[in-house]
Structure 1
Amino acid sequence: MTAYLLGWLAVVKVRGLSIHLNFPDRYVLEDTIIPYFVERQEFQRIRFIGSDWYTKPYNRYFRSKEYWTIEIDPVKKKYVAKKHVVGSLLNLSEHFTTNYFDLIIYNGVFGYGIDTREATETSFQQCFQCLRSGGILVFGWNDILGFQPFSALEQCQSLQQFEPYVFTPLATTQYLVADSPNRHRFNFYLKPLPQ
């Protein structure tokens, strides 16, 4: 029993009354990325892609924002935001008008639901369409074979519509999380302003 409990505690960490994943990439997301956007007034309409037990505390983080989740699995409804759509990222624009969101966080779905190049192209196109000009896309993904549907992510045509965005707290447009067993990366993109 003790070995089981220690194994479980290696995966989760209790913070206050919430249980969080005890992984380096979650600390970067929860302690650096999310707080940065929560503090800025220009980011009011936020979309988080994918939901599970470890994303439930994000409702508290974004309580002062218009926070939406989308999750294809209706069983996970107990972990979602008050504003939620049961559906696929691939159909995001069916639920929201063009230019609606200020920020989209698309983390941990590439290779875990978005499993082909075609689906990846569509997912980025949907994000582009639903972000306002000047809006930000945060894309988190595992950069090792077996955890991504294809290599050469930067060759996605729909991703090339975005511009790299320098995320000030990390001083980069792409951040490889130290000590991440899955080589988790966060890429930051800006939807360009009209010319």
Structure 2
Amino acid sequence: MSNSRRLLVATLKFAARPLPAGMRNWARQIVETRMMSRFPDRAILLQALFPALRQTSALSKNAKVLWIGCRPYTVLYYSLIEQDGAESWSIDIDPDMQPFGRPGRHITGDMLELHHLFPTTYFDAVLCNGVLGYGVDTPTDQLKAFEALATVTKPDGWLLVGWDTDQTADPLKSGLAERWFQHAPLPGLAARSVVDGCTHVYDTYRRLHEGLTR
């Protein structure tokens, strides 16, 4: 690991610690600035997708939101999700990622088993970034993933899926989600955001009502 990467990870871990509000905000601003300058996919997430989600009911007061896939930098996201009073949860299959989940509302588990871990239609929004192609790899498992996502997402609820073109086939072209979700734009954005400067793509969907297909 390079020295710059060690510094970034150390800063992220520092930002995750219980700190006074002023110091926590200062640490978050430093990390966000560094992330957005080095990782264009994170910039799109922070500057475009979170604000657009905030214009819907997805992140509104008392909404329940699930973040799937935890890493050191995801500690920044929970306060953004909860800014208007939403309740965030997190899940990752790797127990070593528990420190980077939502404190008090993190589960170590497999996203393919979401229907066993959460009540049916529990979440107003599910945000799944960097999991397809990074552990959920085969078409069979990806189909199971969308079915599990559908089980815990409320009708008309939002699903955000981030994936990389060099890691997995296009889930939209494969029709993996169409039984349960409709590809749908957020306010001011297209349903698909292709990130310039990297292979990352974000797709947004709305959960269909039970018994409906697109």
TM range (shorter): 0.7 to 0.9
Tell me the amino acid that sits aligned with residue 69 of structure 1.
Answer: S
1:50 pairs with 69, 73, 89, which one?
69
Counterpart secondary structure, 1:185: strand
Is 1:168 the counterpart of 2:187? The answer is yes
Q: Please, what TM-score do these two structures have when normalized by structure 1? A: 0.83
* Residue from 154, 175, 179 that aligns with 1:132: 154
Q: 1:119 to 1:131 in 2, by over 3 A?
A: same
Q: Distance in 2 between matches of 1:108 and 1:65?
A: 23
Q: CA deviation digits over 1:174-193, x for unaligned, max 9?
A: 1101122xx21111111123
> In structure 2, how many angstroms separate the alpha carbons of the residues matched to 1:157 and 1:164?
10
Q: Which amino acid aligns with 2:123?
A: F
Residue 16 of structure 1: CA displacement?
3.0
Structure (1/2) with the larger helix percentage: 2
Amino acid at match of 2:87: E
Report the alpha carbon displacement of residue 7 of structure 1 after superposing the two structures with TM. 9.7
* Structure 2: distance between partners of 1:30 and 1:8: 21
Is 1:31 the counterpart of 2:47? The answer is yes
TM-score, normalised via structure 2 length: 0.76
Q: Return the letter of the residue paired with 2:149.
A: C
Tell me if 1:75 matches 2:96.
yes
Gaps of 5+ in 2: 16-24
The Cα offsets for residues 74-121 of structure 1, whole Å up to 9 and x where unpaired, read as 111111102111101010111111111111111111111112111101
Residues 46, 102 of structure 1: 8 Å contact kept:
yes
Among all aligned residue pairs of Structure 1 and Structure 2, give the percentage whose two residues are the same amino acid.
24
What is the identity, as a one-letter code, of the residue corresponding to 1:192?
L
Alpha-carbon separation, structure 1, partners of 2:94 and 2:134:
12
Paired residues, number: 184
- 1:8 deviates by 6.3
Q: What SS does the corresponding residue of 1:56 show, helix, strand or coil?
A: helix
Does the aligned pair in 2 maintain the 1:48–1:68 contact within 8 Å? yes
Structure with bigger strand share is 1
Match of 1:119 in 2: 141
Distance 1:73 1:5, change over 3 A: closer
